[in-house]
Amino acid sequence: MFEDSSHIAAQTAAAATISGHLYRASMIAKRMALAAKNSRAMVLRAGSKAAGLKVISDYFDELADKTINLSHIINHSAISISQNSVKQWRTQGFLHNLSKCKARVGNQKSTQLDPAMSIGEDSLHELANKLQSELSSLNDQLLDIRQYMQSSNVVAVTFRLEATQTGEFQPLLESMANSIDGLSNEIKNHITFSQNQLAQFKVS
């Protein structure tokens, strides 16, 4: 009648794990924002030779800021999912215990427990609906960040190409592009991991 409690436990742990990974992703995004600001300073120093890079470094900066903000929002969503899972876990435990009790007592006493059973089942249903909507929105948010990071990878390639026009600044700017590219990949790894964790959720 009730979902296996070990599954709810795994779900609770998965939501907490996602929250942890997104926190780490937001820390990396902060480093990425710093790298983007450094690249902008370098572009300014390079002057007219690097005029084409200014727009790109501004874009990096914007992506990093968006990623930080979205990571915070997602982190809150993941915590809310984790709390929801704990409530479901608890309610299932209650319903499980109540069922055991109903099996022990006679019919007349058993019916006295029906209202509590019904409230518990309604509450579980509500929690499942809320979880469904939270999971869907979390999934969209994770896709958004993945999209940002894919854009970041693409822009890093353009940045490297443009850097070839900047003479003595080329090695430094290339190194910055590599750094931003690497950080984007690190964030993508956290997002992939979180998406895999999300796949563990089963909404009835």
Partner 1 sequence: MDAHKLYDEGHQWYVFGRDPEKPEKIIDTNQYLIVDGDRSILLDPGGIEVFSTMLASVLKYVDIDHITDLFASHQDPDIISSLGMWDQVLPKATLHASWLWEGFIRHFGMDNIAYNGIPDTGERLTIGNTDLEFIPAHYLHSSGNFHVYDPKSKILFSGDIGAALEPPGMPMFVEDFDSHVEKMRYFHERWMPSNDAKMHWLNRVRKLDIEIMAPQHGRLFKGEDVNKFLDWFEQLNVGVATMQG
Report the distance separating Cα 14 and Cα 195, nearest Å: 10
Q: Check: CB of residue 32 under 8 Å from CB of residue 67.
A: yes
Nearer to partner 1, 72 or 90 (CB): 90
Length in residues, the chain: 204
- CB of residue 88 to partner 1, shortest distance in Å: 13
- CB of residue 86 to partner 1, shortest distance in Å: 10
- CB of residue 124 to partner 1, shortest distance in Å: 11
> Which residues form the interface with partner 1 (CB under 8 A)?
90-91, 93-94, 97-98, 100-101, 104-105, 109, 112-113, 116, 119-120
Question: 3-class DSSP state for residue 173?
Answer: helix
- CB of residue 119 to partner 1, shortest distance in Å: 7
Nearer to partner 1, 72 or 96 (CB): 96
Nearer to partner 1, 103 or 168 (CB): 103
Report the distance separating Cα 169 and Cα 119, nearest Å: 68
Nearer to partner 1, 9 or 119 (CB): 119
Question: 3-class DSSP state for residue 139?
Answer: helix
Nearest to 36 by CA among 188, 156, 170: 156
HSE at residue 200, side-chain half, CA atoms within 13 A, is 20
